[in-house]
């Protein structure tokens, strides 16, 4: 399983929001997309599953072009969790079942219900399955959104700042669960994150964005004092603690 993004450009009229964006990831990878606010991280993520149609470039999953196929077929390949999802007055089970939408004809079948049951168990949400989504906590709802995306049986899971509104315990819980799932599933996770230290701990590939394009991409080695200065404009020191790199702003 390989995700390849090659020379993506998106924009309105003469102005381009992102340009010349290329990246690649293999199965079991967690790819963290980082950069300052407004640099085009969300735009890039939305281009991956064509919520926004890129003007140029290609996106391929195992050499099959995502841009040439129907929306519902894209949804079978790529699961997407937006930065701000709306918690509607539906039960958690029904919301996760919604992830089966790309697959169903007139109605859901037994296999769909079973799969949702399994996803809920894996995500530790079984006890919430009959609660209404607008009555659970923010952290729980974020887990529900990820569960819905997993119910799409995606090969690429795209998450737009999955931890930004959560407390430290929920941040850990979500990232740890994701890391555990990715390790056992032929899947790629692409996520936008602000917390560099959180991504250093859980991601294995990194992309730093600057001015609508990619400044640097690769393994842990791309997170350096120089790259932090170039992208964020701040001075920072990189330290090692318990085998994990830490970025400490000066």
| 117-to-75, 102, 132, 173, 234 alpha-carbon distances in Å | 20, 18, 16, 20, 46
Say how far apart CA 147 and CA 69 lie, in whole Å.
24
| 99-to-43, 80, 92 alpha-carbon distances in Å | 22, 10, 12
Per CB under 8 A, the list member of 21, 33, 47, 95 interacting with other proteins is 95
Q: Is 233 exposed, middle or buried (0-12, 13-18, 19+ CB in 10 A)?
A: exposed
Tell me the closest approach of the beta carbon of residue 39 to other proteins, in angstroms.
Answer: 19
Mark the segment that binds other proteins (CB under 8 A) among 3-11, 17-25, 71-79, 226-234.
71-79
Mark the segment that binds other proteins (CB under 8 A) among 3-11, 12-20, 128-136, 211-219.
128-136
Do strands 2-12 and 15-26 pair parallel, antiparallel, or not at all (unpaired)? antiparallel
- Asked if 177 is part of the footprint of other proteins (rule: CB under 8 A), the reply reads yes
Find out whether 156 and 61 touch, Cβ atoms under 8 Å: yes
Do strands 56-61 and 2-12 pair parallel, antiparallel, or not at all (unpaired)? antiparallel
Mark the segment that binds other proteins (CB under 8 A) among 32-40, 178-186, 208-216, 217-225.
178-186
Say how far apart CA 231 and CA 122 lie, in whole Å.
37
Site string for other proteins, 130-169 (x = CB under 8 A): x-x------------x--xxxxxx----x-----------
- Asked if 184 is part of the footprint of other proteins (rule: CB under 8 A), the reply reads yes
- Percentages helix, strand, coil for the chain (3-state, rounded to 5) are 40, 30, 30
194-196-198-202 Cα dihedral, nearest 10 degrees: 110
- Asked if 174 is part of the footprint of other proteins (rule: CB under 8 A), the reply reads no
- Asked if 56 is part of the footprint of other proteins (rule: CB under 8 A), the reply reads no
Tell me the closest approach of the beta carbon of residue 14 to other proteins, in angstroms.
Answer: 19
- Asked if 197 is part of the footprint of other proteins (rule: CB under 8 A), the reply reads no
Per CB under 8 A, the list member of 11, 36, 117, 139 interacting with other proteins is 117
Size of the site for other proteins (CB under 8 A): 64
Binding interface with other proteins (CB under 8 A):
46, 49, 51, 70-76, 78-82, 84-86, 88-91, 93-95, 98-99, 101-102, 104, 106-107, 111, 113-122, 126, 129-130, 132, 145, 148-153, 158, 176-177, 179-181, 183-186
């Amino acid at each position: 399983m390989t995700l390849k993004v090659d020379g993506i450009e998106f924009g309105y009229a003469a102005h381009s929001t992102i340009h010349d964006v290329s990246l690649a990831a293999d199965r079991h990878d967690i790819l963290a997309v980082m950069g300052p606010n407004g640099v085009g991280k969300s735009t890039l993520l939305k281009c991956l599953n064509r919520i926004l149609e890129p003007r140029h470039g290609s996106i391929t999953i195992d050499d099959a072009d995502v841009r040439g196929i129907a929306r519902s077929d894209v949804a079978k390949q790529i699961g997407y969790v937006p930065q701000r999802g709306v918690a509607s007055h539906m039960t958690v089970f029904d919301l996760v079942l919604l992830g089966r939408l790309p697959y169903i004809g007139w109605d859901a079948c037994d296999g769909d219900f079973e799969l949702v049951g399994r996803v809920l168990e894996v995500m530790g949400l079984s006890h919430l399955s009959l609660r209404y989504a607008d009555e659970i906590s923010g952290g729980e709802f974020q887990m529900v959104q990820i569960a819905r995306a997993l119910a799409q049986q995606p090969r690429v899971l795209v998450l737009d700042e999955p931890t930004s509104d959560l407390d430290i315990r929920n941040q850990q819980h979500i990232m740890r669960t994701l890391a555990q799932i990715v390790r056992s599933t032929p899947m790629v996770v692409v996520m936008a994150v602000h917390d560099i230290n959180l991504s250093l701990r859980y991601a294995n590939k990194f992309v730093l964005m600057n001015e609508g394009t990619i400044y640097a991409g690769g393994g842990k080695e791309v997170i350096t004092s120089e790259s932090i200065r170039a992208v964020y404009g701040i001075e920072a020191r990189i330290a090692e603690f318990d085998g994990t790199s830490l970025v400490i702003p000066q």
